Chain A
Amino acid sequence: MSGLRVLNTSLFLLVIFLIQETVISRIKFPIDGFSLYLAALMVLLSLEDRSGSIVFGFIGGLIMDLSIAADTPFGQWALILTLIGYLFSLNKESIGDFTQSPFVFVTFISLASAFALVVYLVIGALLGQNNGTLSHLISIVFANSLWTFLITPLFLPLIIKARTALLSNRERV
């Protein structure tokens, strides 16, 4: 994986993050919100190779830590998404099977986003953060995975195309 590709993909993630922060978070979804950024990052991680999943998990997490609304220690999302990236890299072959069918892939992305949020809450609880009542947290995680499941098919081809465009010629072969 070349340094240029790391830079390109990081910039791509940063653009999605800006769209999330400026446009998507304005929308008042019923129940609760949807994270385009988290869904796009999960798509990217599932398509990357072993080391790519870990590296982009870390970079994606660092970008997510920049969120102006976040009240958490800088590096918390980086830690969580590096772990998620590692889980992706461990199960690369199984995830490869999921990506063959769009329906299964979207379901997988929704569950992975929900899992990332649950890990965030668990690590937050270990760090002494108060994120609200259990029912409220469950509703946020559920709503997020539901919206991810419904909305991801709309932009999934775009993310895959953009990711292919970011690959170097050698990686594309």
Chain B
Amino acid sequence: MARGGGNRSRLLLVLLLVSSLFLITLDLRGVNLAGTFRSGVSTAVSPVENLFSRLFSPIGNFASDIRNFGQSKSKIKELEKQVDLLKSKEVLDEDVIGQLTQLKNVLDLAGRGGYKVVAAKVINRGSSTSFNQTLTIDVGSSDGISRNMTVISDGGLVGVVKSVSSSSAIVLLMSDPTFKIGVRIAGTQSIGVVSGQGGNKYLLQLLDATGEIKVGDTLVARGSEGGRPFVPGVPVGTVTTVQSNASSITQNADVEGISNLDRVGLVAVVVAGPKQDPRDSLIPKPAPTVTVFVTPTPSATN
């Protein structure tokens, strides 16, 4: 009896393994099974994601809330005083103001670069079990979005559109280990490739062995043929460490991304590139410092 059960299990196992391998082979040979199914799921899921995006946005930041829990008690008293003050004034939702500022900045960046963009809201993040770093945005093919379009935030590059359904799109983040982009060091002609490392740090490999990299150098996208997948001029990151290795053929450097991918809530998808390469005009300029001169006045005690 047990032997019969064991044989049945083995037969079932072989059958299901063969089915899995058959599906994998079909996919690898170009039969787009995954695309069809995943697009269907994406279309079905995006309204739910939108709903949860509105309902659960405070949950998303619970980790940082836990970290700040120790400081909370002292802040509560201070905040209670402020609540009374705020009640008397017209209060706008801070979240809305933050989003409006982000939207203004991203549209400003797109305007300066001459990019035609479609603004989008981030409604979800990729699952950790897929090992891919992705975002889901609330615009899709019905809004003119298609694959391989550049996605920017108020700081600079965010990623590239990987797949599209009618009402949502998946963006492959620049931090993904498979992500690579051709860059130019701003102010020079040195070119290189920046690759994602899975975290907030990126690796720059300079193609020109004689080129010079300095800490603080800003990198901008070189742009692709026809503006896809990358439009030119988008700020990518800043060099933080130069790796000096005499035996290496290429020069390498660690780069910090300009966009904070953990905090990005609003993005813009570049649907049409600029007529002219904006070169270095989109690099964020340091905020002007305010100098206050104080002239002491003589006291009136004569």
Interface residue ranges, A against B (CB under 8 Å): 18, 20-23, 25-30, 32-35, 37-38, 50-51, 54-55, 57-58, 61, 64-76, 78-79, 82-83, 86, 89, 117, 120-121, 124, 127, 130-133, 136-137, 140, 143-144
CA distance A25 to B48 in the complex (A): 13
B178 close to A (CB within 8 Å)? yes
Known contacts: A28-B63, A76-B24, A79-B21. The answer to whether A69 contacts B127 by CB under 8 A is: yes
Q: Given A22-B45, A69-B132, A133-B197, is A28 in contact with B127 using a C-beta cutoff of 8 Å? A: no
Query: CA of A167 to CA of B59 in the docked complex: distance in angstroms?
Result: 34
| Interface residue B28 (Cβ < 8 Å from any Cβ of A) | yes
Are A79's CB and B17's CB within 8 A?
yes
Contact segment of B49-57, B99-107, B183-191: B49-57
Known contacts A23-B56, A73-B24; is-contact A133 B124 (Cβ 8 Å): no
Interface hits, B59-78 → A, CB 8 Å: 59-63
**Complex: A158 Cα to B19 Cα, angstroms:** 32
Q: Does B160 sit within 8 A of A, measured CB to CB?
A: no
- Say how far A18's CB is from chain B's closest CB, in angstroms: 7
A68 touches B41 (CB 8 A): yes
Give, as a whole number of angstroms, the nearest-CB distance from B172 to chain A: 8
- Contacts A54-B13, A69-B132 given; indicate if A75 touches B63 (C-beta within 8 A): no
Q: Compute how far the CA of A112 lies from the CA of B92 in the bound complex, rounded to whole angstroms.
A: 48
Q: List 24 A-B contacts (CB under 8 A).
A: A23-B59, A25-B128, A26-B56, A26-B60, A27-B60, A28-B60, A33-B128, A50-B6, A51-B12, A55-B16, A61-B20, A64-B129, A66-B41, A68-B170, A69-B126, A69-B134, A73-B28, A73-B34, A74-B26, A78-B19, A79-B21, A86-B13, A121-B131, A131-B177
B residues neighboring A (CB under 8 Å): 5-6, 8-9, 12-13, 16-17, 19-24, 26-28, 33-34, 37-38, 41-42, 45, 48-49, 52-53, 56, 59-63, 124-132, 134, 136, 162-163, 170, 172, 176-178, 196-199, 262
Minimum distance in angstroms from A1 CB to a CB of chain B: 11
B13 and A26: CB pair below 8 A?
no
Distance between Cα atoms of A76 and B129 in the complex (Å): 12
Q: How far is the CB of A78 from chain B (nearest CB, A)?
A: 4
- Give me 6 other A-B pairs in contact (C-beta within 8 A), A22-B49, A61-B20, A136-B177 excluded: A25-B128, A68-B170, A71-B130, A86-B9, A124-B131, A130-B177
User: What residues of A have a CB within 8 angstroms of the CB of B19 in the complex?
Assistant: 58, 75, 78
CA distance A104 to B49 in the complex (A): 35
Task: Give Cα distance in the complex from A62 to B108, angstroms.
Answer: 44
Nearest neighbor of B51 in chain A, beta-carbon distance:
A22
Residue numbers in A under 8 Å from B132 (CB-CB): 69-71
Give chain A nearest CB distance to B28 CB in angstroms. Answer: 5
Residues of A within 8 Å of B23, CB to CB, are: 65, 73-75, 78
A29 to B42, CA, bound (A): 23
Q: Which residue of B lies closest to A20 (CB)?
A: B127
What CA separation (Å) do A67 and B8 show in the bound complex? 31
Q: In the docked arrangement, what's the CA distance between A87 and B66, Å?
A: 38
Taking a contact as CB atoms closer than 8 A, the residue among B22, B59, B162 that contacts A26 in the complex is: B59
CB neighbours of B59 from chain A (8 A): 23, 26-27
Q: Which of B24, B41, B128, B178 meets A140, CB within 8 Å?
A: B128
Query: Chain B nearest CB: distance from A47 CB in Å?
Result: 16
B33 touches A70 (CB 8 A): no
Check A74 against B34 for contact (C-beta < 8 Å). Answer: yes
Are A23 and B52 within 8 A (Cβ)?
yes
Complex Cα distance A79/B196, Å? 28
**Interface pair B12/A54, CB less than 8 Å apart:** yes
